[in-house]
Structure 1
């Protein structure tokens, strides 16, 4: 199989994607377990995704490479993320689902229960590569013991730090959250940076990532946010804000805003995912920086951001759709695609995708990644939004950490039907 055309295309895509990001500021054919070959369809694989520019560029390039190598046409359709699930539901009602849908991993159970995606267990059994995947990511595609999704890629969070600013302030890279609070406070008080640490706290699910990470480190998770770990996390972020180590403005920041504060030198540290690597490199080419695992408390943990490849229910091209999924998950394909996409592999046998030492630090954290499961997975965005509201109440002073955590727990329980 000739890999050269794909390598050249993805190399070009990596350059184009890197430039666009800077301007914007985010098995062989026939090898499928289902028997191989196109089923009753028209020979064109429809592929729906929610990757806008620049992220869709490498995805559609790799789909074009599949067509070049196999002769099988893939028709890609971009649907904005906020409209994606609703569009799938409408397509299911009309009997017009795509052959392949790239979905948020934590929507898999909901999509399976609604009959929108197919059970892939027979394909997976014939394929036999499920043990190559990190457990947390693989489990996101399992529903009642059956495989409904194949992990497409992964992402996790770590701590970005400006080496020069930490040295100037006389602080070491924090390895515990107590050290994080002290380091952030010291940096701010020394005047080395406007504040020690930056993270997103904006309204909605995105703004809950930082407080969730702190909760995970304290030994809790999203399902029991009202317990000691959630209270400890709220208290920790409150102390950091009151000390000036974290700007109160973080409640209006999305992840891009947090990284802008880091790259322009306003913040000496930032919590973000591997997706921000190229942003830092393009926006601050002269900065001496690195990444470290997130600080630990009771445990060392990070949060998994993932997507799954699925087959639309009733696909006339199910075998062909599976062959595309299987091809896309070959290590040799992922080694070229993932760096251009600026993401991590969901499987542990793709060393060529993480040769960059910064990316390798993120990849090493995949074994410590947490993700919601079961009923919580289907309602995770709602639950995270509730947690952000608790954070906002604590920082604004309208509720104590204990009261805010308890209120959040009651709302989460109601959302997931507990």
Structure 2
């Protein structure tokens, strides 16, 4: 009996061993085929990339990603939205520095991109042929792209013209025609004419803030480095354009022909005032291209007036102010990504074919030089453009051949410098300091910030 049990155990052990050898690939045709199939399945597993951006998915971003994913089953991209404000920007920076699996990300301000480059989390794109790519494919070529220490760390994806949006009906009612090359003095006079009682409420000539800064006439005159002297070693706040512009704006606020800073702040219009404009609380506001999608949004902003466009006014000396646009939406690769080549291919797609979707749906004008001006205008302003917009005025301002792009040569402490300008300007518009104190404070604090950073 014991002998029989031992034999049964031996047979069972042999059977298990045979099964194990077969599973481990005893040389049979069936086992070889199964192994090859398993290897092929592993090879076909797609690469996954994560992209963080500050334009909502519904505004065209997800459409670009979906189109890419449909065409590239081997490289799949996931989009993660972050709010493009101080909180959202901090969230992205924290995620990058903590090593979250982010392959690509957007920056929307030169100082954010610069600080990320200095932190070592942005891949230098020069070795990928980025300079040759932007020279061949982007509006304005390489000379209009933001470079840091002579290298490209991001590719701009969109063109953003800026100027003033104006309610044409209000101009007509007031009998106002805005002259070419108008000055700040003429701007003030026209605001006075546009401020009136209308439909039982007071309508102001303008709301004068955008991106938390006062109407940036100095920038339109001097370019992206308007806060720096020519050599970048000191601040430029003693340039006459700063005082002439901001003293005019403060006079307008105090007179009540433009929204006061109190009201701008309380209604959170210091970032953008498109809601006040489309609700017909003001006749004019500073604008850039993304706001056009709100003009087209008659569900949330029903209105029956035509929006026309004019450039910023200039100073009393009639100085040329050609800086009226920027290549923006800087798309970068995380230096820690394990799939940099695939990221670079996606970036090229976004800038070219993908950018058309962003223009059509999100109002983010393609920076691709293969999109004609007429096609860009049709896509940007939409099928109801003749009803909602003064198309010719838009073309004349956004695509004036004499326009120049804002390109930063200096980024020294630029975020701190900009924040200081915001803070002191708020105090000035709240009438807590006089002209001389305001300019002296800007100059002294600006110099100190720059010189400390250069040490």
The TM-score normalised by the length of structure 2 is 0.72
SS of corresponding position for 2:121? coil
What is the rounded CA distance, in whole Å, between the counterparts of 1:65 and 1:233 in structure 2?
46
| Residue 245 of structure 2 is aligned to residue 230 of structure 1 | no
- Asked whether the equivalents of residues 46 and 76 of structure 2 are also in contact (C-alpha less than 8 Å), the reply is no
When residues 105 and 130 of structure 1 are mapped into structure 2, their CA distance, relative to the original with a 3 A threshold, is: farther
Give 3-state SS (helix, strand or coil) of 2:399's partner.
helix
Give the drift of 1:361.
4.9
2:166 is paired with a residue whose SS is: strand
Residues 1:89 and 1:343: Cα distance change in structure 2 (over 3 Å): closer
Q: 1:368 is matched with which residue: 404, 416, 424?
A: 404
> Residues 185-200 of structure 1 correspond to what in structure 2 (within 5 A)?
185-188=192-195, 194-200=203-209
2:147 is aligned with 1:152: no
Whether 1:250 aligns to 2:264 is yes
Alpha-carbon separation, structure 1, partners of 2:83 and 2:276? 27
User: 1:75 — aligned with what?
Assistant: 78
Aligned mates of 2:71, 2:239 — CA distance in 1: 53
Summarize the Cα distance change of 1:137–1:145 in structure 2 as closer, same or farther, 3 Å threshold.
Answer: closer
- Asked whether the 8 Å contact 1:338–1:345 carries over to 2, the reply is yes
CA distance in 1 between counterparts of 2:108 and 2:220 reads 24
Q: Deviations over 1:375-400 (max 9, x none)?
A: 24x633x3333223333233222212
Higher-Rg member (1/2): 2
Find the counterpart in structure 2 of residue 99 from structure 1: 103
Q: Displacement, 1:131? A: 4.7
Q: For 2:277 and 2:350, how far apart are their aligned partners in 1?
A: 34
Alignment partner of 1:163 is 2:168: yes
Q: Hey, what's the Cα distance between the residues in 2 that align with 1:255 and 1:280? A: 19
Equivalent runs, 1:365-404 vs 2, <5 Å: 367-376=403-412, 379-380=414-415, 382-404=416-438
Task: Supply the distance in 2 between the matched residues of 1:261 and 1:88 (Cα, whole angstroms).
Answer: 30
Does structure 2 conserve the Cα–Cα contact (< 8 Å) formed by 1:88 and 1:116? no
Among candidates 328, 335, 349, match of residue 356 of structure 2: 335
Aligned partners of 1:394 and 1:162: how far apart in 2?
Answer: 29
Aligned to 1:179: 186
Q: Displacement, 1:73?
A: 0.8
CA contact (8 A) 2:314 2:320 kept: yes
Q: SS at 1:156's partner residue?
A: strand
Change beyond 3 A, Cα 1:246–1:369: farther
Whole-angstrom distance in 1 between the partners of 2:276 and 2:72 = 46
Asked if 1:118 is matched to 2:128, the reply is no
Query: What is aligned with 1:45?
Result: 49
Q: Is the 8 A contact 2:64 2:357 kept in 1?
A: no
Provide the C-alpha distance between the structure 2 equivalents of 1:362 and 1:265, rounded to a whole number of angstroms.
22
* Partner of residue 371 from structure 2, selected from 334, 350, 359: 350
Any conservation in 1 of the 2:123–2:333 contact (CA below 8 Å)? yes
SS where residue 287 of structure 2 aligns? strand
Of 310-319 and 138-147, the range deviating more from structure 2? 138-147
Instruction: Please state how far the C-alpha of 1:287 moved relative to its aligned partner.
Output: 1.1
Residue 38 of structure 1 is matched in structure 2 by: none
Structure 1's unaligned 5+ residue stretches are 1-40
Q: Which residue of 1 aligns with 2:329?
A: 307
- Please say if 1:414 is aligned against 2:448: yes
Gaps of 5+ in 2: 1-44, 229-235, 382-390
Tell me the secondary structure at the aligned position of residue 252 of structure 2: helix
Which range moves more in the overlay, 112-121 or 346-355?
346-355
Structure 1 position 123, deviation (Å):
1.5
Range with bigger deviation, 135-144 or 177-186: 135-144
CA RMSD of aligned residues (A): 3.0
**Aligned residue pairs: how many?**
367
How has the CA–CA distance of structure 1 residues 109 and 219 changed in structure 2, closer, same or farther, with 3 Å as cutoff?
Answer: closer
Query: Structure 1 length normalisation: TM-score?
Result: 0.77
Greater relative contact order: 1 or 2 (C-alpha under 8 angstroms, separation 6 or more)?
1
CA contact (8 A) 1:379 1:415 kept: no
Deviation for aligned residue 1:293: 2.1
Distance in structure 2 (CA, Å) of the matches to 1:116 and 1:379: 19
Maintained 8 Å contact 2:212/2:271: no
Q: Any conservation in 2 of the 1:104–1:307 contact (CA below 8 Å)?
A: yes
Shift of 1:191: 6.6
